[in-house]
Amino acid sequence: MSKYTPHTEQEIAQMCAKVGVNSLDELYADIPNEIVNPTINIGEGASQFEVYAHIKSLADKNKCYSAVLRGAGIYDHLIPPVVTSLASREEFVTAYTPYQPEISQGILQSIFEYQTQMCMLTGMDVSNASVYDGAVAMAEAIVMCCERKNRAIITGKVNPQYIQVAKTYCYAHEIELIIVQDKDGLVDIDKTTHMIDDQVACVVAQCPNYVGLIEDMASIGQMTSSKGVKFVYVFNPISASILPTPAEVNADVAVGEGQCLGLPMCYGGATLGIMTSTKAMSRRLPGRIVGQTTDNRGNRCFVLTLQAREQHIRREKALSSICSNQAHNALRASIYLNCVGKVGLVQIAQQCIDKSHYLAQQLCKSGGKLKYKGEFFDEFMLEGGINTVERLKEQDILGGLPVDNDTLWCVTEKPTKSVLDCVVEQYKEAK
């Protein structure tokens, strides 16, 4: 980090004179002294080694597994060291939100490049500068669509945490949220079609869905188009490299969680809410949208093309009041995508498919049974298996997520064959 240089005594005296006080103490005279100079009981000072030993004793209470086979929204992918190295540079870490965009060309360019990558990944026309997480992105997308109508449908196995956030948003915006139950783990298109009336603004579906299955998003897109409602596609950025893009299946808004793009798990985040849409929906996107243009000298430069935040426009006209641009997380995702490249991202997706299917096949050969039929990406639901999860903790492996009496397993590109074989052996012994 750069060396911090405080104001000189001369500068402080000039500033005090300007506001009509003789000292900083006089400047804060109206504030109670216990607030300005609080008494903090932090005990006696300690040496560097004593502090280090204390901090280490606290850190040792954490449990860090050597392998993670659990997803459900947050995923353990390999992060190339260059991602952390570049993202940790001081000019990136200290960059602040672009309230004065004309002098924030660096941060605007990084956002513009991130937005470009998200549009390439989804096939959509426009992307914002991101929001808090995938759940907020989905909820914001519903509000986007409900401009003149007051009902929205969530269909199939959508992440239940996303649904909880959507319920909160819809309550505040007086939107009726209709949940259509799945059929054997997949979207029930017939039931969903029957639920659409003239007050339904959009249909939300997730692929791969919460239990890992790949939905027939093309059929859902055809259904929404024929009914004249918006289609919100909740996608996985890794699987998006090999599945048909949201644009190819007639999605109007595509949202997702970007944590898998170079962000560590860290107790459930840092997270990155991806939001993209068609051009027709672009003015309903919350947050910021950075565009590219030229200045009066003909040089390439960047501007805030659309600004839908309450900091920039009248609050009553703002589309969102809590939208963070998550610029640094978006920067990490952009660096990650540049690092792995288009071919590399496809290879990562293929490894997720190969390894997850290998584990599923081996568990089934050992007497296990998948709860749902159908193709899956990197997650699958196994009937039972909770005892196996407990046994794996002793092997320093975090197993699948218990869901009622079943387990949701996830295999990314990270686990080795020996780890997966260990899971199978523990499953056999637990039966």
- CATH code of the domain covering residue 346: 3.90.1150.10
* 263 and 383 part of one domain: no
Range of the domain at 233: 81-336
What b/e sequence results for 110-133 when a residue is b if at least 16 CB atoms lie within 10 Å of its CB, and e otherwise? Answer: bbbbbbebbbebbbbebbbbbbbb
Q: Which of 427, 415, 303, 317 is nearest to 365 (CA)?
A: 427
Q: Is the pLDDT of residue 69 over 80?
A: yes
In this prediction, residue 21 carries a pLDDT of 95
| Global confidence as pTM | 0.87
Q: Is residue 329 part of a domain?
A: yes
* 101 and 229 part of one domain: yes
* 272 and 412 part of one domain: no
Q: What is the DSSP string of 89-131?
A: SHHHHSPPP-SSGGG-HHHHHHHHHHHHHHHHHH--SEE-S-B
Q: Is residue 5 part of a domain?
A: no
* 256 and 120 part of one domain: yes
Q: Is the pLDDT of residue 1 over 50?
A: no
Residue type, 28: Y
* 165 and 299 part of one domain: yes
* Sequence-distant (≥ 6) Cβ neighbours of residue 176 within 8 angstroms: 150, 151, 152, 170, 199
Residue 407 · residue 384 · CB < 8 Å? yes
* 175 and 216 part of one domain: yes
> Please, what is the average pLDDT of the chain?
93
Q: Is residue 174 part of a domain?
A: yes
Q: Is the pLDDT of residue 140 over 80?
A: yes
The count of structural domains within the chain is: 2
* 319 and 294 part of one domain: yes
Q: What is the mean pLDDT of residues 100-108?
A: 86
pLDDT tens digits for range 365-388: 999 999 999 999 999 999 999 999
In this prediction, residue 100 carries a pLDDT of 77
* 138 and 108 part of one domain: yes
Domain boundary among 336, 367, 398: 336
Count how many residues are written for the chain. 431
pLDDT tens digits for range 213-251: 999 999 999 999 999 999 999 999 999 999 999 999 999
Domain boundary among 284, 304, 336: 336
Q: What is the CATH number of the domain that holds 332?
A: 3.40.640.10
Q: Is residue 118 part of a domain?
A: yes
Distance, CA of 132 to CA of 399 (rounded, Å): 27
* 301 and 173 part of one domain: yes
Distance, CA of 431 to CA of 429 (rounded, Å): 6
Q: Is residue 221 part of a domain?
A: yes
* 320 and 349 part of one domain: no
Domain boundary among 317, 336, 355: 336
Q: Is residue 298 part of a domain?
A: yes
